[in-house]
């Protein structure tokens, strides 16, 4: 499941580049069910291969997250709960999900916005709920910008360095990998031959 989602996200990033990452994260940040996090990871893995610039990607992911969160805040502040439920029901924004996020806000306050990006459904709805609850915009902006930086840096750099390390490992140990693969194939072939031979011997009895 995870591999298929990442593969699909990679397809969009290969086709549309930075725009796919920006649009996916921007829309996800105010409630749309787009795979923003997967698009960011796919873009970072491509950056580890030199196909994208990780510096541009980091700034782009941060900016898209901040902008999307602020759009969500305005929607929640201006439209209120009724508008969000009426228009968001087609996108999976239900009363239950809103109540769940509102419960987090009641317990943890601004810290929810700071770490919301790491948790579903907080990632999609934290800006909307902050607006509905009337959180001060400057306070929301500060938490949202800091949280976006943490989230984008963590996933982008983790995926980027994973990709770089994997490439280095393959290049460094490629001869050993080939030899090991050949030995494993020979052992499997021998085991299969012995199994077939034993099966034929049993069938003759």
Give tens-digit pLDDT for 80-114. 777 777 766 666 677 777 777 888 787 777 778 88
| Rounded average pLDDT over 43-52 | 89
What DSSP element (H or E) covers 48?
helix 36-48
Predicted structure pTM score? 0.72
- Nearest of 154, 94, 156 to residue 129 by alpha carbon: 94
Say if residue 48's pLDDT is above 70: yes
Query: Which pLDDT does position 56 carry in this prediction?
Result: 93
Would residue 119 be called left, alpha or beta, if left means φ above 0 and alpha means ψ between -120 and 50 degrees?
beta
| Rounded average pLDDT over 154-164 | 84
Q: What is the rounded CA–CA span in Å between residue 51 and residue 49? A: 6
| Rounded average pLDDT over 142-156 | 89
- Nearest of 122, 85, 84 to residue 100 by alpha carbon: 122
Query: Which pLDDT does position 171 carry in this prediction?
Result: 45
List the structure tokens of 131: 């607006």
Question: Taking a C-beta distance cutoff of 8 angstroms, is the pair 36, 28 a contact?
Answer: yes
Question: Taking a C-beta distance cutoff of 8 angstroms, is the pair 123, 27 a contact?
Answer: no
């Amino acid at each position: 499941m995870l591999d298929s989602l990442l593969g699909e996200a990679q397809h969009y990033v290969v086709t549309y580049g930075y725009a796919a990452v920006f649009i996916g994260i921007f829309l996800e940040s105010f409630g749309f069910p787009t795979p923003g996090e997967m698009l960011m990871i796919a873009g970072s893995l491509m950056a580890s291969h030199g196909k994208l610039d990780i510096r541009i990607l980091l700034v782009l992911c941060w900016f898209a997250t901040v902008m999307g969160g602020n759009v969500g805040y305005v929607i929640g502040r201006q439209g209120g709960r009724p508008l969000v439920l009426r228009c968001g029901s087609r996108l999976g924004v239900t009363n239950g999900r809103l109540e769940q996020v509102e419960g987090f806000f009641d317990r943890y306050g601004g810290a929810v916005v700071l770490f919301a990006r790491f948790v579903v459904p907080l990632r999609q709805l934290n800006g909307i709920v902050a607006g509905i609850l009337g959180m001060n915009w400057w306070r929301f902006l500060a938490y949202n910008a800091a949280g976006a930086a943490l989230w984008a840096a963590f996933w982008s750099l983790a995926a980027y360095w994973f990709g770089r390390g994997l490439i280095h490992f393959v290049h460094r140990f490629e001869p050993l990998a080939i030899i090991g693969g050949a030995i494993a194939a020979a052992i499997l072939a021998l085991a299969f031959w012995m199994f077939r031979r034993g099966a034929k011997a049993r069938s003759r009895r």
